[in-house]
A and B are shown apart, each in its own frame.
Chain A
């Protein structure tokens, strides 16, 4: 069964921000409901049926998550989300092995929670190598190989980028890490349930998963921690010793059940859904390219999840475009809304010029996106880009053949 029912109210904008979060699948909510009411027991209670039933729900969910990534259920621990999983994986490993190893390799386009964790570890005396990415957003495997030393404790490379949707070569990275005898952690928040993942085939030792990116609830995530060969971690949260001691605290049964159900649905429907989204992605891109010159896709189009497009609409500032397309919920690649006025660090890392980075939008397609919504979005985007270009002094100069780079702009 595949539900493509409209889940938004008619007065809500068309949701095209599936990399920010996803709506919960109604089937997920249904699976969770009993655990909010009658089956409210503490899954760690051993003395009565309330506890047993809750435990059963949690353990089934653990199995569902494990199956999605080809893991054993004993290797999956529940966390509050991918941010916690990333913190726990990198900090936990770094701190456990710090007597022998003090080096971490990651990339410049990681999510902030990975980069910030690495910064934190740098302050503690660890050394971190931030690998650059190529123009298409993918890392250079030779550069990775060269960066790993005998002091490298973990390599953390995200599976799918949250802004540009590009898929890193996980199997190749895993192979290199195994050869070099270092752990491989991947932040798979944007990848799980979207692309096939197999911790064995890809030699992944630690993997972070988020509930709300896969049509599950917010506030829940998982961390895969390999048992053979064993990966050890210093926990961030200590207490009752739940989750193999890696993460104390009573498990939120309904959220665990929701994540499990979301994982199972994603696995069962992944193939068909990927094909459907690829069609919508192509339709969106063609619709825009047919009507608008000078638009550019940021990041590799081939090695990319079908649910993402990141497009620079040259000569049109992204935030003003978003203000115009009121009927569409997208996000700006440029973080112009922040006081810093810095454009996206991910786009900058690809070598996208600052002026181009200011013109980009991230468009996320997902399970509930319809063809009609894509067509409406194209129409609205085309109309507003044209209107704003008519208003843009840069577009005017470009039409007059003036090279914008030849002008001495006063940075402000």
Chain B
């Protein structure tokens, strides 16, 4: 299978690998996928006092397309508000990386991962406000 240069670049030089402190109040963590399906993504965002995502980290168990998709979205969400980050669509990811049809699910998973991280962050802040 021929992959795009962008995809290979993200696979070979993944951006923002790592973990943030998941117990921290300004960190939202999304963990999606399942080991049995061959894909698990953990995506974390750290939201600053100004409401902008100041850092994002990921770890992914999955094929090259899954790794590239998650690497790409960590780049995209940085500097965005969580509302803006929420609008990232899997089709944008798939298009940017030129994912082959059998790999579209990787971009869907990456979108789910951002949404899950945002939801986790929102749940934490809502709890704090109570």
Contact = CB atoms under 8 A, between A and B. Distances in A.
Given A320-B62, A393-B60, A394-B61, A410 B17 contact: no
A391 B19 CA distance: 10
Interface stretch (A25-33, A83-91, A337-345, A372-380): A337-345
Interface in A293-328: 315-317, 319-320, 323-324
A317 B19 contact: no
Contact of B38 (A339, A341, A392, A404): A341
A236 B38 CA distance: 40
A338 B63 CA distance: 12
A409 B35 contact: yes
Interface stretch (B39-47, B73-81, B85-93, B118-126): B39-47
A407 B11 CA distance: 27
A337 B61 contact: no
A341 B108 CA distance: 15
A339 B102 contact: yes
Contacts of A320: 11, 62-64, 66-67
Contacts of B3: 323
A393 B14 contact: no
Given A320-B11, A323-B64, A412-B109, A391 B34 contact: no
A328 to B, nearest CB: 15
A285 B3 CA distance: 31
Contacts of A324: 11-12
A231 B114 CA distance: 64
Contact of A317 (B12, B42, B63): B63
A271 interface: no
Interface residues of A, number: 31
Contacts of A410: 32-34
B49 interface: no
Interface residues on B, range: 20 to 34
A396 interface: yes
B110 interface: no
Contacts of A323: 3, 11, 63-64
A323 B7 CA distance: 11
A96 B108 CA distance: 52
Nearest to A340: B102
A374 B60 CA distance: 29
Contacts of A355: 35-36, 38
B82 to A, nearest CB: 21
A320 B39 CA distance: 11
B94 interface: no
A357 to B, nearest CB: 9
A411 interface: yes
B59 A392 contact: yes
A323 B3 CA distance: 10
A388 to B, nearest CB: 8
A354 interface: yes
Given A334-B38, A393-B41, A393-B61, 16 more contacts: A317-B38, A319-B38, A320-B63, A323-B63, A355-B36, A358-B36, A358-B38, A391-B67, A393-B59, A396-B19, A409-B34, A409-B40, A411-B34, A411-B36, A412-B39, A412-B108
Closest 7 A-B residue pairs measured CB to CB?
A409-B34, A355-B35, A393-B42, A354-B36, A358-B38, A323-B64, A319-B63
Interface of A: 315-317, 319-320, 323-324, 334, 336-339, 341, 343, 353-355, 358, 390-396, 404, 407, 409-412
